[in-house]
Amino acid sequence: MIKGKTGTDKVVSVYWFAVIVIIAGGVFAMAYSFYGHPYDVREIEGDILANKIADCISVQGRLNEKLHSESGGFDGNFSDDFYSICNFNFNSESDYGWDKTAQYFTEINFYNLSDTENSVFEIKKGNMNYKQDCYMTDKKNKDYKKFAKCSEKRIYALDDSGKQYLIKILAGVAKTEKNVKL
C-alpha cells in the first residue's frame, strides 16, 4: 500500500521473499542434518583399541612375556586372561541392551613368517558376530553406516629365541545406535 509502488517492485518483493524462504529452508536442513546425527567415533575407537592391543602384545618389538609357555610356544592362558593382562573391559552401558551383548571384539592371529596363511596361535575376544561387518566395504550400501567399524593392524615381533612372527590384529566397535542415526 505504498504510494508510487509499481507492479515491478511487487514482483521483486515476491521474488525476494521466495529467495529468503529457500535460504532459510536450506540453512535449517543443513543444521538439522549436521546436528541431528550423532558423532560417529567408532573408527577412532577401533584404531585406539587396535593400538592398545598391539602395545600389549608386543613390547619394544618383543612378544609379551606372558605369551610364552614354559614348554615353549604360546601360552593358552594368555587368551583366557587377555582382559586382565591387557587391561581391557569390554562391558558397555545398559542402553539398548549393550550390557548383555558386548559391543567390542578383537581377533589376533600369530603367523610364522614362512607361512602367513595358517596362524600358529589366535586370540578371539568380545562379540565375534560383528567380525563379518568388517568385510562390508561397499560404501554405496545404504546399511553401510550401520555395520560395526573395524581397524586392522599388522606388526612384527620377536620371541625369546629371536624367532620372528607376523601378528595381525583385527579390532571392531559396534555401538551403532549411539553413533549412527537409524
**Nearer CB in complex with other proteins: 104/110:** 104
Residue span binding other proteins (CB under 8 A) among the ranges 26-34, 58-66, 115-123, 144-152? 26-34
CA distance to 81, 83, 114, per residue, from 88 (Å):
10, 5, 32
* Cβ-based nearer residue to other proteins, 98 or 158: 98
Angle CA 21–26–31, to nearest 5: 125
Least distance from other proteins to the Cβ atom of residue 39, Å: 6
Kindly state whether residue 24 participates in binding other proteins, applying the rule CB under 8 A. Answer: yes
Residues 6+ apart with CB under 8 A from 40: 145, 149, 179, 180
Which of the stretches 16-24, 114-122, 144-152, 161-169 binds other proteins when contact is defined by CB under 8 A? 16-24
Per CB under 8 A, does 22 bind other proteins?
no
Question: Which of 169, 159, 168 has the alpha carbon at shortest distance from 68?
Answer: 159
Query: Which positions ≥6 away from 69 have C-beta within 8 Å?
Result: 75, 76, 77
15 vs 11, 12, 19, 80, CA distance in Å?
6, 5, 6, 71
- Decide whether 26 or 72 has the Cβ nearer to other proteins: 26
Q: Confirm or reject binding of residue 168 to other proteins (CB under 8 A).
A: no
Q: Which residues bind other proteins (CB under 8 A)?
A: 2, 5, 9, 13, 16, 20, 23-24, 27-28, 31, 35, 38-39, 41, 44-45, 48-49, 52, 81, 83-84, 87-93, 95, 98, 103-104, 178
